[in-house]
Amino acid sequence: MSGKLTTFLWPGTGGIVDDTIVTRIGEDEYYVVTNGACLDKDTKYIDEELGKFGGDVQWTRLDGSGLVALQGPQAAEILSEVLATDINLKEFYFGNTVQAQLKLADGSKTHPVLISRGGYTGEDGFEISFNGKLYPASESTVKAVESLIKAAGPERLQMAGLGARDSLRLEAGMCLYGHDLDDTTTPVEAGLSWIIPPERRKAGGFHGAEVILPQLTPKSKGGAGVERRRVGFVVQGAPAREGAEIQNKDGDKVGVITSGVPSPTLGKNIAMGYIKDGLHKAGTEVDVVVRGRKRPAVVTKMPFTPAKYWKAPA
């Protein structure tokens, strides 16, 4: 089984409804992980799209399910120590998914869980899904986490909160829906053109294609291009937060910051945001207004730190 980033798009505008992970878990069965804050919107969207499709499709919202992200350079080693299912993790690559069981600290096993290699940190790791429709997922999730921590010990594994996750995902140049992506942003503006494969570009017909396909060709080459682009920044002084204004050296507003944190890995303040097309090239110097003061910033290529995904040989 393998999962792929799938972006739901609005018809007519090409804006991003949500960025989700869709995994094929059977011949005609798929498992969709949405952003939590988008659940109600996504539910309505899927219902409407299925109504237009008119085919025989049933789907279930897995309320009460659990999700654990085991991330970092020792994630594979730790997972191997609690797996109750024989999996060759050296050939289990980024994007792969498998159904398996985990050994618990009390000697029992979990119900079958879905294990996917990937995550939201830029590190190697795994996401473990507990199905709340099949068993009490909250209890199983807690027991699995406790067993992972006991097996690994505090020197190798510790709990991490959303602050750690946010700094890691930003260092990896990854978007956060509702901040770096929203209903008004197209994949091209967001630097996500790679999600549109060549065959879809040729055939068109997907939601928002009439907007998105012309954007793929820059204005300099006769296309529609875009007015703004998502880029990274290294900011001097205080860290820039969401909503901070980006100005050119003449003091004109040319963009806005959508995410920003101090980077523990780099020892610098990093951010991402949208800037006027033409100013998006790495090395462009701008100012970011932080608490009323201009802070020098430089447009920087993302990711800020190299990704460490366990990928299949090219």
Per-residue tokens: 150 = 């006991």
Q: Strands, DSSP E only, in the chain?
A: 3-9, 16-26, 29-33, 66-71, 97-100, 113-117, 125-130, 228-235, 245-247, 253-263, 268-276, 285-290, 293-300
Closest CA to 101 of 134, 130, 142: 130
164-168 contact pairs (CB < 8 A, 24+): 165/69, 165/120, 165/121, 166/259, 166/261, 167/261, 167/262, 167/263, 167/264, 167/265, 168/71, 168/120, 168/121, 168/122, 168/123
Report whether 240 contacts 300 (CB < 8 A): no
Taking residue 136's Cβ as centre, other Cβ atoms within 10 Å add up to 12
Closest CA to 276 of 256, 258, 292, 259: 256
Q: How many residues does the chain have?
A: 314
Residues 6+ apart with CB under 8 A from 253: 245, 246, 247
Question: Residue 72 carries which DSSP code?
Answer: S
Cα separation, 259 vs 279, in Å, equals 18
Question: Residue 206 carries which DSSP code?
Answer: S
Phi, psi dihedrals of residue 291, rounded to the nearest 5°: 50, 45
Residues 6+ apart with CB under 8 A from 28: none
Any binding-site annotation on 127? yes
Cα separation, 311 vs 123, in Å, equals 12
Pick out the residues of the known binding site for substrate.
Answer: 127
Pick out the residues of the known binding site.
Answer: 127
